[in-house]
Amino acid sequence: MSKGYPIGPRLLKAREASGLSLSDVAGKTELSKGFLSRVERGLVSPSVDSLIAICEVVGLSMEELFAKPAYQITRASERQRAVLPGEMIIDTLLTSSTEKHVTVIETTAGPTGTGGDALYSMPTECEVCYVVSGSIEFILDGEVLLLASGDALTFNGTTPHTWCNVSATEDVRILWVLAPALPNPWIKGTIVGPREIPI
């Protein structure tokens, strides 16, 4: 089989998800346990008939077995601008605009750049602020936290917050990870708070 189709691991995963042992599959397909084990480890290529029989037992369709993994590449030159609160900052979207599970945004803030004087909140359950370089002062519902390069803060995105670059001479880079994904991170109107701009 082509290296582009890792059928062995997919069959193993489907069998384990079905709660079946190798003996169970062997009994229902009339194939030996040793052969099935080698198939799952990618050491042998089963015939089409054997493959169909195995798939039927473990509850995996042929379409699922040979499906290519879904992925999307966001090129640096193609990033979309995200519209978030702030002054003297540039926000770009790292994840695809159609991604529904997580939103990842990179913020570059100039000296004294800030998320704004007013606290704001995001419509997401979990938000992670990771400082790539520089240092920021983070205000979380009134509590002031100092985050330096390499520090990460995890909190509920609905909690009112804001932040600012503490340096008057250096830029700061921040990665924001939000889950579930923001509904429209590249369009105005996704922020909840005094700075919200309706769509």
Identify which has the larger pLDDT, 177 or 3. Answer: 177
As a whole number of angstroms, the distance between CA 53 and CA 171 comes to: 60
DSSP 8-state assignment for residue 184: -
The predicted model scores a pTM of: 0.68
**Going by C-beta distance under 8 Å and a sequence separation of 6 or more, which residues neighbour residue 97?**
80, 185, 186
Start and end residues for every CATH 2.60.120.10 domain found in the chain: 76-179
Token output for 3: 């290296």
φ and ψ of 23, to 5 deg: -65, -40
Token output for 39: 């198939």
SS3 79: coil
Q: Is 77 exposed, middle or buried (0-12, 13-18, 19+ CB in 10 A)?
A: exposed
Per-residue pLDDT tens digits for 98-137: 888 999 999 999 998 999 889 999 999 999 999 999 999 9
As a whole number of angstroms, the distance between CA 167 and CA 147 comes to: 12
**How many Cα atoms occupy the beta-carbon half-sphere of 120 within 13 Å?**
23
CA distances from 169 to 31, 89, 134, 149, 172 (A): 70, 14, 10, 16, 10
Token output for 108: 């570059």
What CATH code is assigned to 7-65? 1.10.260.40
**Average of per-residue pLDDT across 1-25:** 85
76-179: in CATH 2.60.120.10: yes
CA distances from 116 to 53, 60, 112 (A): 61, 51, 11
DSSP lists the bridge partners of residue 131 as 174
Reported as a pLDDT band with limits 50, 70 and 90, residue 195 is very low
Per-residue pLDDT tens digits for 126-149: 999 999 999 999 999 999 999 999
Reported as a pLDDT band with limits 50, 70 and 90, residue 61 is very high
Tell me, what's the pLDDT at 173? 96
Q: What type of residue sits at position 169?
A: T
Start and end residues for every CATH 1.10.260.40 domain found in the chain: 7-65
